[in-house]
Amino acid sequence: MIIKPEIFTNSIIKSLQTTRSGGTSPKPYDSMNLGIFTEDENAQNNLELLKQAQDLPHSPIFMQQVHGNKIVEYTDIPQTHGAIKADGCFTKKSNTICTVLTADCLPLLIADKNASIVAAVHCGWRGLYADIIKSCIEKLQVNPVDLLCWLGPCISYKPYRVDEQFRQKFVLKNPQFAHCFYRNKKGGWHADLKKIAVSQLESLGVKSILQSPYCTHDNKGLFYSYRRDGKTGRMASMIWLQG
């Protein structure tokens, strides 16, 4: 099963979000695990994805994500999984897929309204704290008002429990983040990754933001979740310019 982000209406901008269904991986990775850095390493799923999404220009190549804020530009199609160590990529080249892998972290897909540039960003809490969204938008060199941003499936705030130290880390960095945390009855906290990302995007001047309604933790049949399962697979969020 593939999800199509609805915000990218320009016919040149192509994007997709994979789920865990429709592949060949055995348990506990069943079935469409695209996380080639897991023990599964099921290359057959890449081939299956090409069958399901026939407009893909090439088999996706994945970065080695390191939970930082490094953004790289693809001036050509990358050739080897993991050769690039970063958490975001962008390109102006047609038929070159930008993609990130997630299993609770927040995937962010970006394009400009003129369909001249696209980007994919892996937003875990460390990346959000390190301003990876700002790093990406600065590299795109596009007026933020002209950007379209899609926040993909990630863990929602209810199952994402954090401690006071975690919350203070963000609130001390920016008091505006206080509304992105919710206290529970036991005195602990819950963090809302999407709210943090939206707050950052809006502060940068982005107006067009669409959020996926899915929680990875609460939808076991559709999504992998590291916090729920521990040993698990990965979904892919992809965007490219069709040539």
* 8-state DSSP, 190: E
Of the candidates 209, 217, 222, which has an alpha carbon nearest to the alpha carbon of residue 191? 217
Instruction: Band the pLDDT of 47: cuts 50, 70, 90.
Output: confident
Give the 3-state secondary structure of residue 112: strand
Residue span(s) of the chain under CATH 3.60.140.10 come to 2-155+194-241
Task: Classify 22 in phi/psi space as left (phi over 0), alpha (psi -120 to 50) or beta.
Answer: left
The model carries a pTM of 0.97
d(CA 41, CA 36) in angstroms, rounded, equals 4
User: What's the distance, CA 93 to chain centroid?
Assistant: 20
Asked whether 108 and 149 are in contact (CB, 8 A), the reply is: yes
Asked whether 153 and 17 are in contact (CB, 8 A), the reply is: yes
Question: Which CATH entry fits the domain spanning 2-155+194-241: 3.40.1160.10, 3.40.50.2300, 1.20.210.10, 3.60.140.10?
Answer: 3.60.140.10
Residue 89 in this model has a pLDDT that exceeds 80 = yes
pLDDT of residue 79: 94
Give the 3-state secondary structure of residue 188: coil
pLDDT of residue 39: 87
Tens-digit pLDDT profile for residues 114-173: 999 999 999 999 999 999 999 999 999 999 999 999 999 999 999 999 999 999 999 999
pLDDT of residue 51: 87
Instruction: Band the pLDDT of 19: cuts 50, 70, 90.
Output: very high
Residue 74 in this model has a pLDDT that exceeds 80 = yes
- Give the tokens for residue 116: 């001249």
